[in-house]
Amino acid sequence: MLFGTLRDKAPELDGVPTEKWGSEPFQAGSAVPDSLQGYNLPGVSPFAKTLAQKKSGPPGQISLQHLATWYQESNRELKKHTLEEWKSTMDYVKQRSVQRKSLSESTRGSSTTNRDSIKSHLNTKQTDVKDSFSQHLNEVSAFYRKLAETERNLDRELLALQQSIRTTESWVSSRTLWPQKVNERCQHYRDQRLGIDLVMDELEIALGKECLELSTSVPAATSGALDTAYDLERQIVNMLNDVSEEKKRKDKSRSIDTKLTTLKLGLNAKPALDSVVLRPPNAFDVETWRENTEALVDSANTLRGVSEQHRDAMKDAVALADSIVLEFGDMVDTMQAEKLAFSLSARDDVEQLLIATKEELARTEHEIEYLETAISDKMHPLSFATQRLASRSERPAQENTIDSVHHALIQEVAELDASVSTLQKELNINMNNQSDLKTMEAMLEEDFGIKKVTVNLEQRCTNIRKFLSPDTDQYIQHRLLTDDEFFDLMTR
């Protein structure tokens, strides 16, 4: 029998207050009177003792033959009792029988009352247990719903945060990494300018400032925000795991308690006395349980609020960084356009000078040809005049006079010489001009080539910077950033 020794097996029950029930103590029957001591009173036979151990039945359960035999053997002397002894014995048996019946009836009344009261009380306790299960299940279900809602909100916030991270990363790629590459390429191309055009101008200084801002201020404005976002993403993922696990625990607890509320008492059920512990070592107070769950929900909601605020902060950081990019980008674009226009003008000026020089050189060369022809043309008249002077010297001595013909021929030779000398001087001057013009032509050709290279490089930089526009297709920017051959093809 377990009851009666239950508290020995589950001693912690002593700490549980219970309902107090009144119960009458057992009262023994009347003692045998002294006057009847030493007699074999009814009930002393082994048949009576045996019958007392058996279930009650109708009168006449003892065999009279056996009873008679036992008494005859116990009283072989046929010792007889007095009438008074018989009467005393009869009175004692009646009195004790009536007394025991009365005591039993009183005890039955008390036990019936206790039994009904206990049944009612235990039914009430079972109702209390049922109500407790119901209340606890309602509370667990409420917490489960709150956790489920918290999980949904956190999951939505995680998706929103991840989208903000991707947007910011895309912005960094398109508005930082790409501008950095454009800046580096522009500086690289401009370093390929030749000769006198390789100057440290205001555009190069502006490109240097833009490069500094892109590599310092812009990353500083976005990297911190991204690092915080990555940390928040990890925290939200961990918090989602915690909320999910807590939700699973609540669901399992709810499932177990729901099953217990509908559990039917099995015939073969055995008491689990090891579980009768007021404060199990692995359990904690319900208030602590509530506080832990509420704290988890509050922490999740707080984290979600921090994430929402940080998404706004990321937008502000991107806006600030974008304003820096646009400010320096616009400044460089304006100076780049001015530099291209200046380079085009310089190239055109040199080209015009080169064309004029070439034209003048051609005219000079033609003039040289004319002078050389003119000088060559004077050789025949000079030979003719001097031959006539030589032929007149063959006249007879008496006829060899210095006459007007002689003077005319001498004058002709002198004029020819003076004119040829003048033509020769002109020829020499024109030839010097030709030489200097050719030197100038070579100088201008080289400078024109330098200017064309500069224009090509400035034009290429201008072409590259057009792809910095926010309207540029993202795919094109990605290809330009990652594919150098595509970059070269698109920016020539």
- Domain with 405, as residue range(s), is 150-263+282-490
**Residue 429 covered by a domain:** yes
Cβ–Cβ contacts within 10 Å for residue 81, how many?
13
Q: Are 150 and 295 in contact (CB under 8 A)?
A: no
Q: How far is CA 51 from the centre of its chain?
A: 87
- The total number of structural domains in the chain stands at 1
- Looking at residue 446, what is its pLDDT? 94
**Residue 469 covered by a domain:** yes
Q: Are 437 and 355 in contact (CB under 8 A)?
A: no
- Looking at residue 445, what is its pLDDT? 93
**Residue 60 covered by a domain:** no
**Residue 51 covered by a domain:** no
Q: Are 400 and 393 in contact (CB under 8 A)?
A: yes
Q: Are 331 and 206 in contact (CB under 8 A)?
A: yes
Amino acid at 247: K
pTM score > 0.75 for this model?
no
- Looking at residue 89, what is its pLDDT? 78
Amino acid at 73: E
**Tokens representing residue 318 in the block:** 């991107």
Torsion of CA 197, 201, 207, 209, to 10 degrees: 160
- Looking at residue 114, what is its pLDDT? 81
* 3-class secondary structure, 302: helix
Nearest CA to 481 out of 222, 47, 185 is that of: 185
**Residue 80 covered by a domain:** no
Instruction: Tell how many helices (H) and how many strands (E) occur in the chain.
Output: 11, 0
Q: Which residues of the chain have pLDDT under 50?
A: 1
**Residue 63 covered by a domain:** no
**Tokens representing residue 452 in the block:** 């064309």
**Residue 273 covered by a domain:** no
- Looking at residue 110, what is its pLDDT? 81
- Looking at residue 278, what is its pLDDT? 66
Q: Give the Cα separation of 335 and 206 in Å (integer).
A: 8
**Residue 42 covered by a domain:** no
What Cα–Cα distance (Å) separates residue 194 from each residue in 189, 199, 217, 438, 442? 11, 9, 33, 22, 16
Q: Are 252 and 206 in contact (CB under 8 A)?
A: no
Question: Of all helices (H) and strands (E), which one includes residue 219?
Answer: helix 218-261
